[in-house]
Amino acid sequence: MCLVLYPHLQGVCVAGYGQSGGNEILQLLPPPTLQVKETQGLCPERDFKVECGGFSNRPVYSLKYVPDTSLLVTSGPPDSSLQVWQVSAEDSDVIKPISAIPTENGTGQPWAKIATISARAPWVLHGSRLDSVQVTEVESRKNVYMAACRNGEELSGLAFLDCNTLLLCCAKGQLCLADVRQPRDPLEAASGPPAPWIRLSSGGHLTLTDARKTSEPLASAKCRLPSPSSGTEFLCVSWAPALEGCLAVSGFDGTVQVYDTQSWDGSGREAEPIFIHKGHALGGAGSGGDPPLVTAHAWHPQKPRTLLSAASDGSLHVWDWVQPCGKCG
């Protein structure tokens, strides 16, 4: 199951990824306990409420909210095209598909990684390989940028650094920068903003890199894993928005691990997580009787130690932890 949080946690959207048709896309209203208020007493209501929903005839492997709109963008097998969804107005409870965004020469390519931004107009950055990266205006489907690259290496992630700069991460760990104002220029090795970029491998290795000098990692460590991942579809690593040096990792099993990177060095030794959420793993079996796999997680935008996580058995958890002394302060 994929999940995405709306700004200020005004809503949560989740979607299924089963191979059969009829995967649900639901917009959920969070319980009052997740609403940020100056004073909040006991609250008996602790469940999410379904506000509206729809069905996708293909698996949803990635789900993104388009800022400042009522639109969602999804991607998933069997190709790298995108689907655009309209979250209906208050008088309707339907999330309906309104258009599709194809990728040039996208037939037979893996599903596309996606990122969204509201710049001059709502844009989506998408692609499955370096040579298929493009930026498309969501509402008009007009092509804004296409990478000038012949390298067909598969992408593991991509992001907008700002409305003009794109950061692309290949499956082998290489970081590249692109500028939408210079569509004919070749991709460059990343040499941009000073903020650390984090990379996660299928073997559980975490590397913090200054995008200005990718050849020299700032720090590295190895997650504590029962075994390396057999797939990379749902590996997820994210920085805490309100805790310095703190990040969360999921997608290897039925847990979400939280780490404090401030004590890491360049040795790559196994790191000790400061907290492990095991609720999904203890909740029961997933599809086919297999243990549940955490497929997505996200940090609450205002509550520093609160996270949401979703798993392959359809469960959605909201949880937090007590701050260890001197950790992630």
Tokens of 154: 């598969």
More confident of the two residues 328 and 220: 220
**Residue 39's pLDDT band (boundaries 50, 70, 90)?**
very low
- Report which of residues 266 and 168 the model is more confident about: 168
| Residue-by-residue DSSP string for 215-261 | TS-SEEEE---SS--S--TT-EEEE-SSSTTEEEEESSSS-EEEEEG
Residues 6+ apart with CB under 8 A from 326: none
User: Judging by beta carbons within 10 Å of its beta carbon (0-12, 13-18, 19+), is residue 55 exposed, middle or buried?
Assistant: middle
* CA atoms 311, 314, 316, 317: torsion sign: negative
Q: Answer whether 62's CB lies under 8 Å from 70's CB.
A: no
Q: 55, 48, 50, 49: which is closest to 15 by C-alpha?
A: 55
Q: What is the pLDDT of residues 204-214, one digit of tens each?
A: 888 887 766 65
**Rounded mean pLDDT, 149-157:** 84
Distances (CA, A) of 324 to 74, 149, 257, 328: 37, 47, 14, 8
The tens digit of pLDDT for each residue in 135-147 reads 999 999 999 999 8
Least confident of 57-71, 75-89, 103-117, 187-201: 187-201
Query: What pLDDT, in 10s, does the model give residues 262-287?
Result: 888 777 888 999 999 999 988 665 55
Ordered by start, the domain boundaries in the chain are 194-319
* CATH 2.40.160.60 fits domain 194-319: no
